[in-house]
Amino acid sequence: MSIPEPGTTCLSPAVHYMVCKLGFEIEGCLSVNSIVCENGEVCWRTITELVCYFESDQSVDYIKSVQLLGPLCESVHLHLQTLTAEQFEERYSLWFRWTNHTELLLQVFTALESMEATAIALSLMKLTSCLERALGDVFLLVGKDCPFLLRDLLASQELAAVFGQSVMNVLRIFIGSPCGLNLRNILWHGFASPQEIPAKYCSMLLFLTAGLGQLLKRYLLQTETILVHRPYIAFANLEELNIFPDINQEALSLTEELAKISSFVLKTMLPFWIAAVTAFRQHRYADCVILLLPQLENGLRLLFTTVNKCPHRLLTAESSSLYTTFDEMLTKHLNDKEINQLPLILGEPAMEFLWDFLNHQEGPRVRDHLSHGEVNLNEFPRAIANQILAFSVTLLCKFSEGEEFTAFKEHTVIKPLISCASCYCSRFHPVARLRKQVLECIKSISSWSNLPSVLEEQVQEITGQERSAETSPCMSVITEILSQLQHHLPQNCYILDDLVNDLLTEKLLAELCSMHICTLYCPRSVLEILAILRKISTQCHQVSDQVIASSEMRYKQWINKMLRSRQRHNYLRMLNSIKFLSPVLRLILMLIALELINIHTVCEKNPYDYQRYLKFLKSVLQYTENLVTYTSPEKNKWDESLELTHKALIKIRTFNERKLTLTQLATKLKLS
């Protein structure tokens, strides 16, 4: 699909005027001596006196303030240009330490020296995220819960108490309000092209960051407090993020060519794409992703406005309305409740990828972590950059037409990327996380068969009876429940002699967990059920871990004759319990897998039946929680575990007999 080329800017007329023209209307410069003292300190009074306020309510007049601050920004910019890198570091590095990012801020100065527009825009994005993180650390000196949004952070009374309200108003003019320059948002959301960001505003923010460091030092001395920096987040489960093949040098060259001709890329934004590829080549993986994410957002916004016939939403919104960002573009409905056409055009796999990498709480949430300064940029994983770049390549190909693109799509390094993108399934939606939990849990339980165990003769020698006798009540109920479930399983499970050993297998669970389930836009009731099922699965795994740990420890103690008589009997009771606990836990996992396959059927339940179903699941959860307690090394209540389990199995059998599970409801709906 080809996308029509819009105008030369994605900034609305008012925003374009604010950013590109307003601060240049008053010509001339202020004396640098009125801005920087001889000792290098920032003269905040000179800056704050240029902030204008409305007489009616004393709120900031952003238009007049930007206009008056323009010449001051120019003076700061010219002042920094007179300094060498060594002079700048000597004069300002001390005042950057409060950010915990001195090296980054020195790199921003180097970018300003180069006067290369894309490098300055990238530096500004990194500077704003670094500043936000550092200001959040300062907030926690006074307050408790740091605001998630920068605009709320800058408007907080806590930061005003540290730096002064007039200083915070200056920051809000540059990065904290949609009424001001709003430099952070227009860059991070892909609205501004490199040439639309005046270099003097980057210089000014760098200068203000040093000034904040000076004010903070005074505050820390006065209050005798120490600024503590929150630790960076670490991206977990990187192996789960390996979807696409590795991007090699040939693929990088092709990506540059694709970006130059693809209708997914606005011509004014092309420098960002080229810079992203260059950053990947140079192993600057954080820079690559910081550059790419806003351009993905820009390209998808272009597509969004085309397919939904709302071209006005391509531009930055005015302060009175929301920008069209990823959050709006990935939703099911538009503001007027009409169906959003973008998900239909992108397809389910691409939507799953975007939700996984950007939105799901257990996913990497790359944009959030980067834009809020929560990531160590020097240690950003290549794996994540590789996946986002590869996905971007598939979009460059997908939304362009012509013979030249046919050749690209069939190229030996591009075709595998397209193939991987076309079959992507969510890895971080609660459905996917539950599947993973179930499979990890069954693997853990399956390992029980390899646990060391005393010989049967030794058991009978001590107890004088067969171990399996006590397990029969539980086993008979398990068999009954499996008979109820059997015809909801694949057809090859219909005629079996030994239901327990033939059905409760790792292989069958893997087969059930491989079935496709739609994860986009799950209703609240579905998410509520998934949350309970996940808790049940977690408890089952905890039981398994405890059984494994206790079994291995007791066996060693048995062999080394370190167990007293009472402990030996308790160990044997545990071995006896394993015989019924294994099939019970496997049965619960099978129930979870079956309910998961039919999870969307919960929407068909009326409120009364839904509450009954919820109550049933919570009773199963309560059973597994109690089982965790009983099987813990501290309790070792194995006889009580048997009694508890028998009662739980009776409840499960009764609920099944009433045909109230999602699996049975789905079958009923199919038959009707």
Contact between 409 and 418 under an 8 Å Cβ cutoff? The reply is: yes
Number of Cβ atoms within 10 Å of the Cβ of 448: 17
> In whole angstroms, what is the distance from residue 651 CA to residue 645 CA?
10
Task: Indicate the SS3 state at residue 60.
Answer: strand
Q: Which residue in 419, 421, 420, 417 sits closest to 255, CA to CA?
A: 417
Q: Which residue in 326, 334, 335 sits closest to 354, CA to CA?
A: 326
Note the helical H segments in 399-469.
403-409, 415-422, 430-446, 456-463
The tokens for 313 are: 């939403």
pLDDT at 319: 66
Task: Indicate the SS3 state at residue 333.
Answer: strand
> In whole angstroms, what is the distance from residue 637 CA to residue 567 CA?
12
> In whole angstroms, what is the distance from residue 272 CA to residue 275 CA?
5
The tokens for 5 are: 């080329």
> In whole angstroms, what is the distance from residue 568 CA to residue 561 CA?
10
Report which DSSP code applies to 230. Answer: P
Contact between 558 and 568 under an 8 Å Cβ cutoff? The reply is: yes
> In whole angstroms, what is the distance from residue 2 CA to residue 397 CA?
10
The tokens for 368 are: 């959030």
Residues of the chain short of pLDDT 50, as ranges, are 464-470
- Domain positions in the chain are 13-223, 238-422, 430-671
**Cα-based distances in Å from 529 to 318, 443, 489, 524, 613:** 40, 24, 21, 9, 9
> In whole angstroms, what is the distance from residue 411 CA to residue 400 CA?
15
Q: Which residue in 112, 113, 93 sits closest to 103, CA to CA?
A: 93
The tokens for 137 are: 């650390």
Task: Indicate the SS3 state at residue 339.
Answer: strand
User: Model confidence over 354-380: pLDDT tens digits?
Assistant: 999 999 999 999 999 999 999 999 999
Contact between 509 and 589 under an 8 Å Cβ cutoff? The reply is: yes
- Rg, C-alpha atoms of the chain: 31
